[in-house]
Amino acid sequence: MVSAVNSFGLMGVDSYLVRVEVDLSRSLPSFDIVGLPDATVRESRDRVRSAMKNCQLTFPAGKVVVNLAPADTRKAGAIYDLPILLGILKSQGQLDASLEGMAFVGELSLTGEIRPVRGVLPMALSARALGIHTLFIPAQNAPEGKVAEGISVYGADTLENLLAHLRGEHPLPLASEIPHTPEEVPPTADLCEVKGQFEAKRALEISAAGGHNLLLIGSPGSGKSMLAKRLPSILPQLTYEEAVETTKIQSIAGCLPKGVSLVQTRPFRSPHHTVTPVGLAGGANLRPGEISLAHNGVLFLDELPEFSRGALEVLRQPLEDGTVTISRATGQVRYPSSFTLVAAMNPCPCGYYGHPTRPCTCSPGAVSRYLSRISGPLLDRLDLHVEVAPVNYADLSSSLPQERSAQVRARVTAARQIQSQRYQGTGITCNAKITAAMLPKVCPLSDQANHLLKSAFERLSLSARAYDRILKTARTIADLDGCEVIEAGHISEAIQYRSLDRKYWH
């Protein structure tokens, strides 16, 4: 007899319905899974067989064929253990309950425990979209299941409890009723710990307010890493849509913190400079990489020139499009990767090129070789270039209270609110993402500002991309000021953030 149970597969950040069909026949004992299963799915056979034996269920004596439809998409992971086992029970007549309109995902242990799986949030959302009324997920994934309001989501911890529920003997708790203690988030460091460095702090604020990419360049010990690590403390809250997207990616990557149903804080990823292009872009088992895990947040690359050329070039397309497409022999997926890039670097191998007092010991060739590791196109995509000068003694020893992150964050949030009103319904979230076509409409310039920009464009021979980026940065500076029309002061500050490439990269 043939039975079919609903389950899900993952494709990028979305999920699709998978029908798990099970056919039993009287023939020599065998157990086959078809429908492009990967090695983990094939190993389901052993987990299902042992779980059935250890839960006092009879494994069929004859031939078992499992088909995962649609047959032409690759199925990965251990999520099909549970639907396969239920399909076998249905085909054998060991389970009478109707499974119509229900869907199941879960990995089984050999003793019949239901273990957590990756990607439950996108599955729960697509269950709701597909009209599935009841979804069964592993109890440990219950917080993610909660997000799909409007359908019944049950979290099951063991096969025994799940079967008792399906047989109507003992109901399972709804996912929303399972108590969870979210993991404690360690408090982020505060901006007030950084003494002086007012220009760099201002640039950090502009970057957070408009989502602009930022490059910090300066000598060792000037506080670049310290500043960048405090960026999360001034970033605005995620909107609901952003939170769902970000949580989906973390759910798929399997790095959603325990007990969290929706991520509330913007991601801040800081991969080490030895990261490979695949680690950065994603693609190992078609999973998302660092740039997608940083979606709606910040990707911080400390010691930028130390990253491999391949890794840096990977960033170019996502920085422009906000998505990354990964192609492998096993398939192609697209992940969102709209992040703010923050990079820190020394200006030369010894670190003191351009230092006000300490001489640089590098040869001119060594300096230019070092700087040329950052390609022109990548540099062009960084809106704000900031020189972090060594902090002076007066600032460092001063006991004057510094501005706290909460105060800066309040200004950032106000500027973001202006932006979200301005871009309502356009799909754009912040000034850094404005399209070239929108620029004339959303960046009205005063006459003086227009004049200043024109003369700067001619004098500094700016590229078209630099021109666009100056306008976007000026838009954010004006928003921080609460001005609708961009004034000359906003433009001149924005231009100043593009002057370093001439100092270092000529």
> Token match 């704000």: residue?
384
Q: Which residue is nearest to ligand ATP (CB)?
A: 223
Site for ligand ATP in 84-113 (CB under 6 A): none
* Cα–Cα separations (whole angstroms), residue 358 to 21, 97, 202, 217, 386: 73, 79, 26, 16, 20
Q: How many CB atoms lie within 10 A of CB 396?
A: 11
Nearer to Mg ion, 134 or 225 (CB): 225
Minimum distance, C-beta of residue 493 to Mg ion, in the bound complex (Å): 26
Kindly compute the dihedral angle of the four CA atoms of residues 474, 480, 484, 486, in this order, to the nearest 10 degrees.
-30
Question: What's the CA gap between 108 and 239, in Å, rounded?
Answer: 35
End-to-end CA distance of the chain: 75
Site for ligand ATP in 345-364 (CB under 6 A): 346, 351
DSSP 3-state assignment of 274? coil
**Up-side HSE of residue 371: CA atoms within 13 Å toward CB?**
23
In this chain, which stretch among 147-155, 225-233, 270-278, 280-288 interacts with Mg ion, using CB under 5 A? 225-233
With CB under 5 A as the rule, give the number of residues binding Mg ion: 1
> Token match 């970033």: residue?
235
Minimum distance, C-beta of residue 408 to ligand ATP, in the bound complex (Å): 15
Question: What's the CA gap between 47 and 55, in Å, rounded?
Answer: 12
Site for ligand ATP in 177-236 (CB under 6 A): 194-197, 218, 220-226
DSSP per residue, 73-123: S-B-SSTTHHHHHHHHHHHHTS--S--TTEEE--EE-TTSBEEP-S-HHHH
Site for ligand ATP in 365-424 (CB under 6 A): 391, 396
Minimum distance, C-beta of residue 239 to Mg ion, in the bound complex (Å): 32
Minimum distance, C-beta of residue 344 to ligand ATP, in the bound complex (Å): 6
Minimum distance, C-beta of residue 192 to ligand ATP, in the bound complex (Å): 10
The interface partner of residue 337, options being Mg ion, ligand ATP, none and the CB cut-off 5 to 8 Å by kind, is none
Nearer to Mg ion, 225 or 323 (CB): 225
What would the two tokens of residue 166 be?
């399906």
Residue 17's closest CA among 126, 153, 131? 126
Nearer to ligand ATP, 27 or 392 (CB): 392
The interface partner of residue 195, options being Mg ion, ligand ATP, none and the CB cut-off 5 to 8 Å by kind, is ligand ATP
Question: What's the CA gap between 138 and 158, in Å, rounded?
Answer: 8
The interface partner of residue 222, options being ligand ATP, Mg ion, none and the CB cut-off 5 to 8 Å by kind, is ligand ATP
Nearer to ligand ATP, 224 or 287 (CB): 224
- Phi/psi of residue 212, nearest 5 degrees: -85, 140
Minimum distance, C-beta of residue 225 to ligand ATP, in the bound complex (Å): 3
The interface partner of residue 415, options being Mg ion, ligand ATP, none and the CB cut-off 5 to 8 Å by kind, is none
Nearer to ligand ATP, 82 or 194 (CB): 194
Question: What's the CA gap between 206 and 346, in Å, rounded?
Answer: 22
The interface partner of residue 223, options being ligand ATP, Mg ion, none and the CB cut-off 5 to 8 Å by kind, is ligand ATP
Three-class HEC string of 346-390 = CCCCCCCCCCCCCCCCCCHHHHHHHHCCCCHHHHHCCCEEEEECC
With CB under 6 A as the rule, give the number of residues binding ligand ATP: 17
Minimum distance, C-beta of residue 310 to ligand ATP, in the bound complex (Å): 23
Minimum distance, C-beta of residue 345 to ligand ATP, in the bound complex (Å): 8
Which residues, at least 6 apart from 506, have a Cβ–Cβ distance to it below 8 Å?
Answer: none
Minimum distance, C-beta of residue 353 to ligand ATP, in the bound complex (Å): 12
DSSP 3-state assignment of 290? helix
| Among the listed residues 54, 225, 270, 492, the single contact to Mg ion using CB under 5 A | 225
Nearer to ligand ATP, 216 or 466 (CB): 216
Residues near Mg ion, by CB under 5 A: 225
Residues near ligand ATP, by CB under 6 A: 194-197, 218, 220-226, 344, 346, 351, 391, 396
